A and B are shown apart, each in its own frame.
Chain A
Amino acid sequence: MTFLADRQAAGVAPVEGGVGDSPNRPDGPAKTQGRFAFASDLNIEGMLWGTTLRSPHPHARITGVDVGPALAIDGVACAVTGAELAARPTYGLISADQPVLAVDVVRYVGEPVVLVAADHPDTARRAAEAILVEYELLALLVDPADARDPTTPAIHPDGNVVRRIEILHGDPDATGDVVVEGTYEVGTQDQAFLGPEAGLAIPDGEGGVDLWVATQWLHSDRDQVAECLGLPPQAVRLHLGGVGGAFGAREDLSLHVHACLLALRTGRPVKMSYPRDESFVGHVHRHPARMRYRHHATAEGDLVKVEADILLDGGAYASSSAAVVSNAARFAAGPYRVPHAVIEAVVVRTNNPPCGAMRGFGAVQVCFAHEAQMDRLAARLGLDPVELRLRNALTSGDVLPTGQRISGTAPVRECIEAAIAHPLPALPPPESRMPPGEADWLEWPGGVGRTADPADVRRGVGLAVGYKNLLFSEGFEESSEATVLLADGVATVTCAAAEVGQGFVTLVGQIARTVLGCEQTVLLPADTTAGSAGSTSASRQTWMSGGAVLEACHEIADQVRKGWAGAGEVGVDVSVAVAAGSSAFEATAVYRPPAATRRLDAKGQGDADVSFVFAAHRAVVDVDVELGLVRVVQVTTGQDVGRVLHPTQVLGQIEGGIAQGVGLAVMEELVVQDGVIRNPSFTDYLIPTVADSPDVLATCIEQPEPGAPLGAKGVGEPPTISSTAAVAAAIRNATGVEVTRVPVRPWDLV
């Protein structure tokens, strides 16, 4: 029997709205019309508003808390302090080291101390301000170099060093004909999603609670919340509230336990929604980094050895630091053949804001450094920077510094060649470099500021290449569960994967249409009644949850096929949905990665990863060398995608990721002084606007990844990894300045 769907799944017969097509997002109309319910839009009769009183000090002992003045305010329902929580609950993604509410000591500015619930958000805020907390200031630890020093007193019972990784590969004493050294720094980037942290907790009247919340991983949250509340997991039910962007910042808990505590205390629904300034202290950031590198190469330009010393500031609590530092170590040498490597990466605890996951997850920081080194090496050798990279580019079968051999695809050369194949933007002719006309000012550095003198503007071009893992690493367990019901020609899919904007909601329909041939597909709201789908992070949901949906659809196809075989029908050229007729079919699949991974050993060796993804970026910048202002004109990319499943959504990920990379290169930095974030607002923490964003030209390198469902690799993170480094390289090229730090500030260039 020939199922149409078999041919469709094999790509022989494309399905409208199926894999490879660009159907519209099913949530698109509601989102454009303001009808989509984000977590901050949730509302229920009789609900209270919760708010958080946070520490104003980076390190202090709490010597007294008086909530009396808050409780005296009309409309205040309750105030909860840490001292009231007998169990002193703590939480954390990898180790539970962070108090739900500080009790004895606060370790960063913004650490939650007291919770308040009231009938109006302004009342709750006024009440929190009325609470009296006495602090005794403690010595500050804000320099990560001090935190690394074993003689520095620990600021946390778990110590100051969260994790140290050493990778020793090949001969540590190997030397090259040519050696280049550099010291590099990356500032603190914020995910700056637009939808604030928000949630609505509703007590069930039986001691349990339902929480609607914007998150990346419902089940991890559920387990941590239940643990902190001292409740069995089934008494805590999490539901995905509409997520207004994530980028890593919603992998950790924020208000989850707080809203539930207030709801259980008052017996009423409690909503919490952070204002922007609170959001900036209410989630983890990208780790700031200091990196020292030494590259050895032969006179011909073959890399011999990479030495790296990487120091990440993890801030006050561990979050996912232990995994981020591992990524920084594993990808420290870049996507190149490196026979010998000596890499040390350390992440430490300080009294700075906690850091954790952000798109690129440790690979971004080291990419800036290893690519700066490659430029330096090319200059020393008198080689073209592109040629040097092509000469050393990793390919399938090569061995990484961890000793892991790349078993999947590694089209590094193809990515580079595609990135540089795009046309360069035309350089304005000399006459138009005269003082511009009214509108043309917008195309010069400084834009409407009209500060540029065209005579001082230099154009530069730079290339960078980066890579990272897909899926979780180092033996971290993962799976995803999906259930598909095919009935009346409609495929209804249940999966707890968090849709955070990336378009999983579209992909589910594409897969179901492709395999089952049904026109109508429905993805039910995600909650913890289904099995875990794991986190929407590590560029993993297309692979993992897409894989689970695909397996469940194939299982249904098999069931339908057996039914037909039993009925003696053969040679039927129909879709599964048509063949199913009026019968209903249901299947649940739990997808697991095709290969096990393991923790790096004492020498940093081991098969820590399932798969790798690569991208190259070429950036073109105009720099006003007198004012130090930069305009990023164009970024082109070649990206390893395995297979394009939705061209428009892939392009959206590429353009969006590049914008974040450009932001880190030239404007985005949380300025932290003595533990205090000085710019917690969109007035002072600048993210690219449409006027700042470059033209993007993208080429997808389609080499299906063996073992990946549909051959597709995740596409979300690669655009952010080397785009920052490419812009830095272009600025270097335009100005001759070394550019050893990002973001590049005007005073770094003049």
Chain B
Amino acid sequence: MSGHAFELVVNGERRVVPGDALPTESLLYVLRERLGLPGSKNACEQGECGSCSVLVDGVLVCSCLELAAATQGRDIVTVEASQRFADVQAAMVEAGGVQCGFCTPGFVVAIQSLLDRDPAPTPLAVREALAGNLCRCTGYGRIVAAIEAVVGRSPRSEEAMS
């Protein structure tokens, strides 16, 4: 079943995936188990939860649904990319958008992808854009507050709790 070694470009670095990798391995599995990048999470592994979100050639994808070998030669950006997501990451911590944190890396990547496309999304646009990322802890209130902080609107936290 084993195939040949191949190369992926992850966070700007060339990384070799060894030849004992099965050809059926997803990009998520290869990132986590072969390249030492466990930041992308394995919550459902069927493209429903968004925890494994990465950017491939700038497009937001679920890495669990991509075959690793099929992403050769493409620009893969994960949550571990230094600085790429710094503002969103800081806002998520400050606003209380992180609880257990399992969905957080996926949210960070998905939020950055939204802001890349639309730097000032309306609240409805935020809801629609992030509806592919599940969070079970926060009820999303503080995550939305983090986004509003990044785009410069006042966070809702003051009005949410009196």
Contacts and interface: CB of A to CB of B under 8 A. Distances in A.
Given A38-B38, A120-B22, 8 more contacts: A27-B101, A122-B24, A193-B100, A501-B101, A651-B142, A658-B139, A682-B134, A689-B131
A34 B104 CA distance: 8
A443 interface: yes
Contacts of A659: 138-140
A660 B138 CA distance: 10
Contacts of A427: none
Given A33-B80, A41-B32, A442-B127, A683 B46 contact: yes
Contacts of A188: none
- The 7 A-B pairs with the shortest beta carbon distances in the complex, nearest first, are A34-B39, A501-B100, A31-B101, A244-B102, A659-B139, A28-B93, A655-B139
A292 interface: no
29 contacts: A33-B85, A34-B38, A34-B79, A38-B38, A38-B101, A38-B102, A40-B41, A193-B102, A194-B43, A194-B49, A194-B103, A242-B101, A243-B100, A244-B41, A244-B43, A245-B137, A247-B136, A422-B162, A439-B122, A651-B160, A652-B138, A655-B138, A655-B160, A658-B139, A659-B138, A683-B48, A689-B131, A689-B140, A693-B139
A684 to B, nearest CB: 9
B39 A22 contact: no
B92 to A, nearest CB: 5
Contact of B108 (A32, A273, A651, A696): A32
Contacts of B94: 24
B129 to A, nearest CB: 9
B66 to A, nearest CB: 17
Interface string A689-719: 1110100111110000000000000000000
B119 interface: no
Dominant SS at the B interface? loop
Contact of B78 (A34, A37, A687): A34
Nearest to B45: A275
A460 to B, nearest CB: 21
Contacts of B78: 34
Contacts of A28: 92-93, 98, 101
Contacts of A683: 46, 48
A194 B139 contact: no
A122 B137 CA distance: 30
Contact of B99 (A122, A191, A652, A690): A652
A647 interface: yes
Given A38-B102, A683-B48, A699 B136 contact: no
B116 interface: no
Nearest to A26: B93
B48 A690 contact: no
Contact of A681 (B46, B95, B139): B46
Interface string A21-62: 010110111011111111011010000000000000000000
Contacts of A276: 43-46
A415 B126 CA distance: 32
Interface in B32-59: 32-33, 37-46, 48-49, 51
Contact of A196 (B42, B99, B125): B42
B142 A655 contact: yes
A649 interface: yes
B83 to A, nearest CB: 10
B135 A194 contact: yes
A444 B80 CA distance: 37
B150 to A, nearest CB: 13
Interface residues of B, number: 64
B100 A245 contact: yes
Interface of A: 22, 24-25, 27-29, 31-38, 40-41, 43, 120, 122, 191-196, 242-247, 273, 275-276, 422, 439-440, 442-443, 448, 500-503, 647-652, 654-660, 681-683, 687-691, 693, 696-700
Contact of B105 (A34, A120, A503, A687): A34
B96 A682 contact: no
B160 A34 contact: no
B93 A29 contact: yes
Contacts of A697: 159-162
A29 B38 CA distance: 15
A31 B48 CA distance: 21
Interface in B62-99: 78-80, 85, 88-90, 92-96, 98-99
A32 B101 CA distance: 7
B36 to A, nearest CB: 8
B8 interface: no
B127 A648 contact: no
Contact of B144 (A34, A38, A500, A690): A690
A245 B101 CA distance: 8
Given A35-B39, A501-B137, A697-B160, A29 B89 contact: yes
A275 B92 CA distance: 27
Contacts of A194: 41, 43, 49, 51, 100, 102-103, 134-136
Nearest to A276: B44
Contacts of B22: 120, 122
B10 interface: no
**Of A120, A244, A687, most B-chain CB atoms within 10 Å:** A244
B89 to A, nearest CB: 4
B128 to A, nearest CB: 6
Given A41-B32, A696-B160, A697-B160, A691 B128 contact: yes
A658 B132 CA distance: 20
Given A442-B128, A657-B139, A697-B159, A34 B44 contact: no
B101 A651 contact: no
A670 to B, nearest CB: 15
Contact of A442 (B79, B124, B138, B144): B124
B125 A439 contact: yes
A698 B142 CA distance: 13
Contacts of A503: 99
B157 interface: yes
Most buried by B among A246, A650, A656, A688: A656
